[in-house]
Structure 1
Amino acid sequence: MTNVLDEILFGVKEDLLKRQEKTTLETLKEIVSTKSKAIDPFPIFEQAGVAVIAEVKRSSPSKGDLSEITDPALLAKEYELGGASCISVLTEERRFKGSLNDLIAVRKAVEIPVLRKDFIFSSYQLWEARAYGADLAL
């Protein structure tokens, strides 16, 4: 008997294999080599006061659809203008309805650190996160 988490993990691994067939690790590393240095979030979080990580999240397995996010870049910019210290972007497609394209859009829209939130299994996904604009991953 499988549970929801097992189903999610199966789907994430399956999707990862498809992406690896399309884009090699070497290609991701080449892309990363052309990017500016990642934004270090730790100085921001070490400052006095509250540090908010705002999240771009369309759906969850337990709650279903949470909101219709038609423009993740606009939402992220609103979060930044509202005082967010970092933007978390869900990139899991099947259950959370996120995407790596959301990550690209958010990175282009904000100047604060961007976090890729997904089920991370391999170093490939970390290179992928950086290639698509994330400064850190969870």
Structure 2
Amino acid sequence: MTILDKIVERKRIEVADAKAKTTLQQLEQYPLFGRTCYSLKDSIENPKRTGIIAEYKRASPSKGIINGISTVQEVVQGYQDAGASAISVLTDSDFFQGDLADLTAARAVLHLPLLRKEFIIDSYQIAEAKAYGADIILLIAACLSPEEIKSLALYAKSLGLNVLLEVHNEEELKRSISDNIDAIGVNNRNLKDFSVSLAHSHDLVDKIPANFIKVSESGISDPSTINDLRKRGFQSFLIGENFMKTENPGEAMKKFVVELDL
């Protein structure tokens, strides 16, 4: 069983527990449920911002604790000040030590699109994302069928959310594209064994249709990598660990951005 299999198995239990505690109708009454979401596309295309989706992540299955000290609000505010185009917050508790409360805490200090970084297997999690302040949800092709991606994306769009589809290879890309997706992210990290290679982004960039925002995810630790990926056709770059492993992630991003060809 891969790490991804374990996460999805755990997620099914988690979702069932969450549904038992809070109904969909109750989520729809949460104050943030009715807010209008920020547009990911507008933010990525804003020339004053960097194209970076900066991530708040305490831990990961492959690295353990990455940063157990910095608070979500100080980190995401630092990212926003450093020029991030969007913010990603991990909400998985068992494997990444995240929490839905982190999403709401981030929302309170941000005026940027906010991604709920989660292993979504059920439309209930999309309603949760809206209720807790997200603007973007993530659909991971490696753990969803094409039919599931279609129906989950359609539901997300009905709530006004942006949809980021994550793929890892050409087969996942071809079977997963649907009309209700805004952005396609190429994960350079293999979710089955957690190895990282930028070759995934290099191979897939020209195969992603031009109407989608193209995002390269994971394994980016050098500004020159972004300069290269941008020349190849990517407009956005998801970075978490590289900033989170420092004492001051916002400051680390500021120094990183100085070296970008903007």
Q: Give unpaired runs (5+ residues) of structure 2.
A: 139-262
Q: Give unpaired runs (5+ residues) of structure 1.
A: none
Alpha carbons of 1:18 and 1:64: their partners in 2 closer, same or farther (altered >3 Å)?
Answer: same
Counterpart secondary structure, 1:30? coil
TM-score by length of 2: 0.50
- Answering whether residue 83 of structure 2 is matched by residue 83 of structure 1, we say yes
Query: Which one has the largest radius of gyration?
Result: 2
Equivalent residue letter for 2:99: S
Contact 1:54 1:84 in 2 (8 A): yes
What is the match of residue 92 of structure 1? 92
The structure with higher relative contact order (CA 8 Å, sep 6+) is 1
Contact 2:33 2:130 in 1 (8 A): no
What is the match of residue 103 of structure 1? 103
Contact 1:32 1:130 in 2 (8 A): no
Higher mean Cα deviation, 27-36 or 115-124?
A: 27-36
Following superposition, the deviation at residue 69 of structure 1 comes to: 4.0
Following superposition, the deviation at residue 44 of structure 1 comes to: 1.5
Structure 1 Cα separation of the partners of residues 109 and 77 of structure 2:
6
Following superposition, the deviation at residue 30 of structure 1 comes to: 2.5
- Answering whether residue 35 of structure 2 is matched by residue 36 of structure 1, we say yes
Structure 1 Cα separation of the partners of residues 97 and 4 of structure 2:
15
Contact 2:86 2:112 in 1 (8 A): yes
Alignment of 1:106-117 (within 5 A): 106-117=106-117
Structure 2 Cα separation of the partners of residues 96 and 69 of structure 1:
14
Alpha carbons of 1:74 and 1:117: their partners in 2 closer, same or farther (altered >3 Å)?
Answer: same
Q: Root-mean-square deviation (CA), in Å?
A: 1.7
Structure 1 Cα separation of the partners of residues 60 and 32 of structure 2:
34
CA offset digits 1:31-83 (Å, max 9, x no partner): 26753211111111124473110000011111111111441011110110111
Structure 1 Cα separation of the partners of residues 27 and 13 of structure 2:
19
Equivalent residue letter for 2:11: V
Counterpart secondary structure, 2:29? helix
- Answering whether residue 43 of structure 2 is matched by residue 61 of structure 1, we say no
Higher mean Cα deviation, 52-61 or 67-76?
A: 67-76
Counterpart secondary structure, 2:30? helix
CA offset digits 1:90-134 (Å, max 9, x no partner): 001100111101001000011111100100011111110010000
Counterpart secondary structure, 2:28? helix
- Answering whether residue 23 of structure 2 is matched by residue 4 of structure 1, we say no
TM-score by length of 1: 0.91
Equivalent residue letter for 2:7: I
What is the match of residue 14 of structure 2? 15
Equivalent residue letter for 2:63: K
